[in-house]
Amino acid sequence: MASDPQARPSPAGERPVTLVDSSVILDIVTEDPVWAQWSEGALAGARDDGMLAINPIVYAEVSTGFDRIEDLDDVVPADDFRREVLPYEAGFVAGKAYLAYRRRGGQKRSPLPDFYIGAHAAVRGYRLLTRDAARYRTYFPTVTLIAPPPPAAS
């Protein structure tokens, strides 16, 4: 698990909210042979620590594997995953992160969903549960990440 010591802590007595990235949910749903076990354990730990949340971007990314909304809702039930709107402030922060990405040589021509997800966590002071930590660490350094450790250098 990785964390940023500068991340904003939850107010005293409040349990943390963890925004869950689609990579974690998809690992579990698809029974990914490499990542499912890690994702299941990390999701269970985040749920034990506090509240889980998703936003419409995560919901959309996970939805691609389902034909019916009811089946998707069985996988990400509203009782377990608080449904949150994307804050307008997150759009601004995502745009600034995207601009930094482009200035560093990033080739994508439109803001990526990851920038919106990271910005949502940043503006709300949420933790972020993800398997894809590199971009979040770079562009959202104040977000506490729950992520697998980086691969050891060889």
Mean pLDDT by 10 residues, the chain (154 residues): 40 84 96 97 98 97 96 97 95 93 84 90 97 91 94 69
pTM as predicted: 0.86
Q: What distance in Å separates the CA atoms of residue 20 and residue 80, rounded to the nearest whole number?
A: 11
pLDDT of residue 108: 78
Q: What's the confidence (pLDDT) of residue 5?
A: 33
Give the helix ranges, DSSP H, for the chain. Answer: 22-29, 36-49, 56-63, 69-75, 88-103, 113-124, 133-139
Q: Which helix (H) or strand (E) holds 80?
A: none
Please report the pLDDT score of residue 87 as a whole number: 94
Residue 34 confidence (pLDDT): 95
DSSP SS3 for 89: helix
Sheet strand arrangement including 145-146? 81-83, 51-54, 17-20, 127-129, 145-146
Q: What is the pLDDT of residue 153?
A: 67
Residues 110, 60, 105: CA angle, nearest 5 degrees: 25
Q: Percentage helix, strand, coil, to 5, in the chain? A: 45, 10, 45
